[in-house]
Structure 1
Amino acid sequence: MTSSSSSLLAEDKSCISWLDEQSPKSVIYVSFGSLAATSEAEILEIALGLAYSEQPFLWVVRPGSVCDPEWLEKSPSRFLEALEGRGKIVKWAPQKEVLAHPAVGAFWTHNGWNSTLESISEGVPMLCMPRFAEQGVNARNVSNVWRVGVHLNGGLERENIDRAIKRLLVEREGEEMREGALALKEKASVCVKQDGSSCQALDALVSHILSFK
């Protein structure tokens, strides 16, 4: 089902044409949502981890998400130039369209419930980096219960990031998680169809509300 974006930020559609040029299931999509902030030290480790992995990446760096307000203007161009086109940085992306793109092989996420559901709905395995609220529970379900992702347990250091990305995009373990993610996608699809569990729950809620007269 298509829907308009709920974000107040303008979506950079240029990332879709960039994805069109990448190999299938080769790109890691990186986005930490609309609230979390990242320190300069963390942003450096993320950048170097992405570089060390040698995998193409699409990275959303939202205005206000980096503690240094000038980082977006002074750093990404030099960083991307050194990688010779292997990465792309945007301020905001059409997330559902990105996750549905055949070039995307993994999603590095904060595991907010919306992002987690969108990743499941497109069968994309996740690299989990929860920050607060329900995100820790969601990440544990993704990595330990459903086994469709990797929890970044080792800390936000470039070597750990590099290792986790390769587990998802290069190694056999990542392929198994991708197969599991596709199976979970099918289960999610059944839930929202007529007489599916989600459909029944919504009908029950509506009936409950209408019962008050």
Structure 2
Amino acid sequence: MSYCVETKSKALAKGLEPLNHQDLSKFLTSDPESACKVIELMVEGTKRARAVIWNTFKELEESELEALSQDFPNPHFLIGPFHKYFPASSSSLLAQDQTSISWLDKHPPKSVLYVSFGSIVKLEKSEFLEIAWGLANGKQPFLWVVRPGSIEGSEWLEPLPDGFLERIVDGRGYIVKWAPQQDVLAHRATGGFWTHNGWNSTLESICEGVPMICSPAFGDQLPNARYVSDVWKIGVELENGFEREEIESAIKRVMVNAEGLEFRNKITNLKWKVNRCLEKGGSSYSSLEDLVNYIRSF
């Protein structure tokens, strides 16, 4: 019998270092035993597969993939980042507000914090208010994606606190329902990304050399955020949820302080590695060739 147990422990998860117990993937479910069974079946199915294709690149996770290959002896093909093979608009789930780009055009390089928590995450009204005041107090220009229906009990921006819009009347903040994320991250004005750390968003930020503020909620977002903050050292994680003081501090760490320059240097190096891996002779390019040859061998 299997059980899914959520824990707040910060002790390292044995065999999964550098993850803490609190970083292990978690999901809300009314039937934990069935949910665990599904995960077990996924693992068993992966072990039986003829090969595994990964949306990552060798230079980012080589040691982790080597460890996995001990339990998953099938061939592994690291051909990511996937989104580099397709136009950005082809993967958008919602209508993109292109005014985001014209607004960014008005700002200096690396000055804007882009804020987006993806297409699934929902926020309590109290969390939304803390985010709003954290952004206002952070004193950095920000582009904030607030997805309609993403705030519990609200259609869109109704919960904005009194006085908030007056604080950003100078154009320091811009709120949209959805943004062309890959274009925003690639824009010269974007200097930081406050994200939920879904794998797609995390990879997109790495590909454009944009340091991150991490607010993971569930699933793979939790270990992804730990790698961003503690392994790759290209951003910071908000350890206490949404608290305006910690948000303000994180914005300064990533966007203003010398620590932010260190994050930028490290993630710029990863960006260079991404570009190299996709070129002829690069790791992902070669792995894709190997995959094609592998398929043709049957």
Cα deviations across residues 50-104 of structure 1 (Å, max 9, x unaligned)? 0110111000011121112234257489633332221000000011110111111
Moved over 2 A (4+): 68-82, 200-212
Q: Would you say how many aligned residue pairs link Structure 1 and Structure 2?
A: 212
Map of 1:1-213 to 2, 5 A cutoff? 3=87, 4-72=89-157, 75=160, 79-84=164-169, 85-212=171-298
Q: Is the 8 A contact 1:123 1:185 kept in 2?
A: yes
Q: Is the 8 A contact 2:143 2:174 kept in 1?
A: yes
Distance 2:241 2:198 in 1: 19
1:192 is displaced (CA, Å) by: 1.4
Distance 1:75 1:5 in 2: 32
Distance 2:90 2:246 in 1: 33
Distance 2:291 2:158 in 1: 47
1:169 is displaced (CA, Å) by: 0.7
- State the secondary structure of the residue aligned to 1:189: helix
User: In structure 1, what residue type is equivalent to 2:246?
Assistant: N
Q: Identity over aligned residues, as a percent?
A: 59
77-86 vs 163-172, which deviates more? 77-86
User: In structure 1, what residue type is equivalent to 2:213?
Assistant: L
- State the secondary structure of the residue aligned to 2:286: helix
1:130 is displaced (CA, Å) by: 1.0
1:138 is displaced (CA, Å) by: 1.2
- State the secondary structure of the residue aligned to 1:111: coil
The normalised TM-score by structure 1 is 0.93
C-alpha distance 71-91 of structure 1, shift in aligned 2 (>3 A): closer
- State the secondary structure of the residue aligned to 2:226: helix
User: In structure 2, what residue type is equivalent to 1:129?
Assistant: S
Distance 2:266 2:98 in 1: 29
**What is the alpha-carbon root mean square deviation over aligned residues?**
1.8
The normalised TM-score by structure 2 is 0.67
Structure 2: which 5+ runs fail to align?
1-83
Cα deviations across residues 11-51 of structure 1 (Å, max 9, x unaligned)? 11111111111121111000011111111111111001001
Distance 2:236 2:243 in 1: 15
Distance 2:132 2:251 in 1: 13
User: In structure 2, what residue type is equivalent to 1:185?
Assistant: K
C-alpha distance 88-41 of structure 1, shift in aligned 2 (>3 A): same
Distance 1:188 1:13 in 2: 26
Distance 1:49 1:73 in 2: 18
72-81 vs 137-146, which deviates more? 72-81
